[in-house]
Structure 1
């Protein structure tokens, strides 16, 4: 998209609602509102926020832990996550080109600059999410369980992130529930957009505020339900499907962008305490959240400290 020939000096409010990517062509700074620097906005949006990068500096980055993402066909060579992929398998999507959904969720989970757990190993299963069918998800889960049982697998999958919540409205729902139960019995934590197991809401970063301060966030696009933990989603930068070094700045984002954030936090928990129970992770998200005027904001540093305390001495 090219805005190069436009005079945008009086359109700051419009620009605050406009998503863009690193290929967007802008006019010179003399034709932009004072203080609006799209390159800086894009760069700042890569920060996962809420103290995540401080945890990375302490070595808590997900190393040694496997995470699986089940989503649409992925641009595999994006610089954000290409070196994190240890397995990529396509299920019933032969001939389907790269889609837009996979790069953002992958970069939020394991991206080297955008990600919550940039040291984790990524197992990616591409499925036809548009078919409204649960069987391919079940197939992927069964493959993951077999993979974890293989003695040659050095970094077992402990967390699965799926950025959809339509399972109950799709064919083979009973099979889906059975697959989930089997995964739970094998110690695998699932984070999806369905609210029947893990309930959470979305936050929007307030531009110009400190992304590490819980008070620097407002309610996301769908509002906030009381009593749920809130997770950053909007006003974030992610990998883009249009090129291996292209990034998109999203103004509004929903649960699809929040799920991999939570999944990445679970990966950090497993790095710190490999023996922690999946249900305990979910409980600690809520117990360690910080109350702001918006609600209970996820607090990664508090969470990791609490996980450490669960270790058997």
Structure 2
């Protein structure tokens, strides 16, 4: 069945992988990618899709450069195209950057969401999916997992901005009957991830012989899910979940230092004394995230296909085989 889908922030890591997932799985779907092309929005993330499109007579992937805070441009698009789904990946997401200056996080992560849902409340046929994060739950004590009803208690400006967006979407569900779902993802990792995040940072640093910076002891526990597994879970929720519902999508718990050491082991660097360099921990650092995705498993049978350890080998090989992709990013970053 033909459907129109708008992906906001589709040049980023998770958004571009979800576009690839939809494009390959649903040949009848037309996908519009609306992205501002900020530092983490990389057109090279979808070169394979662009290449496939160049050989197709009937195009089904379209790119629009734009800002989700631009209500005039978005209204023009929604008046021209009737979308079945809008999936919002557009966000500033780096915690350290939010601590240094949170202005852009408030603008993109809260104001941008407000602009989107304020338009969408007049388009009842369209289902809105807000991509959130497990960081909104804050620091979770040992032996406890944060399900979708766990209290929201963010510890940094990034997490607070995402929590505010969640609450805003929920208010529009109740006040205006907005057709919407919230998806709270764990730490995604995989191919095409911007190399400021810990897994690609570790891999690319070790390739270059540079020590990996670890905040504090690195004993902080995070939950890791491969972006392909996340895309499968999101696909299920988008098509099947009831309106006004919330779902966690999570994977494997593992400390940051153990993930870094595992990468070093796979890459044959584990014996080196200069594998890591400890740096001061960031303020408001949470020791443990533990999102519980059993609701998604019980209702729809979803579960991650591989653990973080099982997936790291293929992720490492991807970065080894795609040096130009991340080296180009590094070159642009230095300019």
TM bucket (normalised to shorter chain) is 0.3 to 0.5
TM-score, normalised relative to structure 2: 0.33
